[in-house]
Amino acid sequence: MPVGPASGRDVPRFAGPATFARLPRADEVTTIDVAIAGVPFDSGVSYRPGARFGPQHIRQSSRLLRQYNPELRTSPFDVQQVADIGDIVANPFSITDAIGEIERGVRDILASSAVPMLLGGDHTIALPSLRALHASHGPIAVLHFDAHLDTWDTYFDAPYTHGTPFRRASEEGLLDPEGCLHTGIRGPLYGESDLADDRTLGFQVLSTVEAADLGVAASIEKIRTRLGNRPVYVSVDIDVLDPAFAPGTGTPESGGLLSRELLAMLRGLAGVNVVGADIVEVAPAYDHAEITGIAAAHVCYELLSVLSLKNAG
C-alpha cells in the first residue's frame, strides 16, 4: 500500500512535512512510481529573476491538497507511490554545467523506474529533462502550455536560455515532430518568422484566442489528436495563465487562460501516455497570497491524477 500525505485530520495543514502535499520523502518509502523533484535554477531567465525559489513556494502552496480527485474519480496518492525526492542541485553560475547536472538527475529518476515530475525553476530545465527522457523513450511529443513559443534561437547570442529549450530539443532530434503542440500562446512576437520557424521545428500552435473560440472540450480533442499514443512530456509554464491567476512569474502576458481552463485541459489528458512533466517559471517574489503557487500546486495535482489512472490500469 502506498504511503500517502500526512493527514490533515491528524496534523494541521500549516504543520507537518515541508514536502509537496506533505508527501513522504524518498528515504521513507521503498519504491517510487512518481518522483517530485525541485529544480531551483533560474540562470536562464531574460526578465524577472526568482524562479529558483519556485520549488519551495509550490511545496508550501500545496498543503491544502487532499487525497481524492472528484473530477477524475481517482485517489492519486493511494494507487501509486508518489514521493518528494528533494531538489536536483544545479550550478547557478554555469548554464552548461547546470544542464548536465539536471539531465543526470532526471536520468537517475528514470533509472529507478519512476516518472519525473519537476518543479522549476525556469524553462531552461525542459531541455535536459527531454534529453534524459529521449534516452529512455525515444522521440518525445511535447505538450507545451505557455504564453511564449520558447523556440527562439539565441538571446544575446546565448543558445541556452528559458526561451530556447524546444528549438535545441528539436535540433538535437529529441522530439517527435508529428506530435508537438504549444497551447496558450499569445502576445507580441519579434516577427512573423517566429511562427514559421516554429512550424519548421515540428510544432503546432493552439493559441489562447483559438482555445477560447473552440471551448475547452474541443481544445482537449485537438490536443489528444495531436499527441496520439506517443510518449508525451507535459511542460507547463505558469505564465500560460492570465496574470490575474498567476502574477508570480517572470514574463507575464495579458490575456491568458483561466486556471479553470488549464486544469480542465490537464484532466483531458487521462489515458495519454505521459512519461514526464514540469511546472516552471513560478517566481514567488511577485506572487500575492500564494495565488501563483496554489495554481502551480493544482497543476501538479491534476498531472499526478492523470498518472494515477495510468498506473492503476
Neighbours of 213 (CB within 10 A): 10
Give me the pLDDT at residue 30, please.
95
Tell me the pLDDT tens digit for each residue of 6-22. Answer: 888 888 889 889 999 99
- Percentage of the residues of the chain whose pLDDT score is greater than 90: 94
- Say yes or no to pLDDT of 313 above 70: no
Provide the grid cell at 27: 528515504
CA distance 214 to 112: 40
CA distances to 164, 212, 240, 241 from 262, rounded to whole Å, are 23, 12, 8, 8
- Say yes or no to pLDDT of 260 above 80: yes
Tell me the pLDDT tens digit for each residue of 261-275. Answer: 999 999 999 999 999
> Please, what is the average pLDDT of the chain?
97
Buried b vs exposed e over 39-51: b needs ≥16 C-beta within 10 Å? bbbbbbbbebebb
Give me the pLDDT at residue 284, please.
98
- Catalogue the long-range contacts made by 197-202 (C-beta closer than 8 Å, 24 or more residues apart): 197/151, 197/153, 197/167, 198/149, 198/151, 201/151, 201/166, 201/167, 201/170, 201/171, 201/175, 201/177, 202/170, 202/175, 202/176, 202/177, 202/178
CA distance 43 to 242: 24
pTM given for the model: 0.97
Looking at the DSSP bridge assignments, the partners of residue 277 are 117, 234
User: 126 by DSSP, 3-state: which?
Assistant: helix
User: 280 by DSSP, 3-state: which?
Assistant: strand
Helix or strand (DSSP H, E) at 300: helix 291-312
Provide the grid cell at 12: 494541521
Residue indicated by cell numbers 517527435: 176
Give me the pLDDT at residue 8, please.
80
Provide the grid cell at 141: 511529443
Helices (H), 62-161: 95-111, 126-137
Q: Let me know: does 20 contact 119? Beta carbons within 8 Å.
A: yes
Give the start-end residues of each E strand in the chain.
34-39, 82-87, 115-120, 141-145, 180-185, 203-207, 232-237, 274-280
Q: Which domains does the chain have, with CATH numbers?
A: 20-312 (3.40.800.10)
Nearest in space to 133 (alpha carbons), one of 112, 150, 116? 116
Integer-rounded Cα Rg, in Å, for the chain is 18
Question: How far, rounded to the nearest angstrom, does the alpha carbon of residue 38 sit from its chain's CA centroid?
Answer: 11
